[in-house]
Amino acid sequence: MFYIKCPRCHEADLFDTGSFSFKQPFDMKERCDACNEDFFPEPGFYYGAMFISYIFTAFFSILFVMFFHWVLDWSTMVSFALLIGVLAVFFVYFFRLARSVWININVKYEADAVANPRQVVSQGTESSRFGSKT
C-alpha cells in the first residue's frame, strides 16, 4: 500500500512518474500495466481519498508541531514554518498515498492477478446488463 502499487497484483505502479519527480504529479494511470485492473471504477471514486488525505495531513501536522515544540523545544513559529516546508515537499506523496490507501480499501489483492487480467467491460455490455433486469 505504501509503495503506491496496483492494489490487485502489487506489480505495477499507480502513477506514471516517481513521487518526487514532480513531473505530472497527479496524473494517475487509467489501468494497471500488469493485470489491467481499472483504477477508475466509477466517476468521483477518489472523493473519499480526499478525506483520507485531509485526516492524514491534519494528524501529521499536529504530531509534527508537537514534536518540535515540546520535545525539541523549538518555538511555535519555527515549528510551523518547518511544517509548511515539509508539507510542500511531501504534498504529492500524501496525495498519492491517500489514493493508494483508498483503492486498497476497495480492491482486494489477488495472487494470480497478472495471469488473469481484468476484461475490459464496454459501455454497451454495462447497459445491456442493467436492461436485462427489467
Residues binding Zn ion (CB under 5 A): 6, 8-9, 32, 34-35, 37
Least CB distance to Zn ion at residue 11 (A): 5
**CA 76/CA 55 separation, integer angstroms:** 21
Residues 39, 102, 123, 126: is their CA dihedral positive or negative?
Answer: positive
Closer residue to Zn ion in complex, CB, 6/79 = 6
Contact 83, 65 (CB under 8 A): yes
Closer residue to Zn ion in complex, CB, 36/79 = 36
Give backbone dihedrals phi and psi of 21, rounded to 5 degrees, phi first. -85, -25
Least CB distance to Zn ion at residue 3 (A): 13
Strands (E), the chain: none
Give the Cα-Cα-Cα angle 120, 126, 129 (nearest 5 degrees).
Answer: 125
Closer residue to Zn ion in complex, CB, 10/69 = 10
Closer residue to Zn ion in complex, CB, 11/27 = 11
Least CB distance to Zn ion at residue 15 (A): 13
Least CB distance to Zn ion at residue 4 (A): 12
Look up residue 90 and give its three cell numbers: 511531501
Contact 124, 60 (CB under 8 A): no
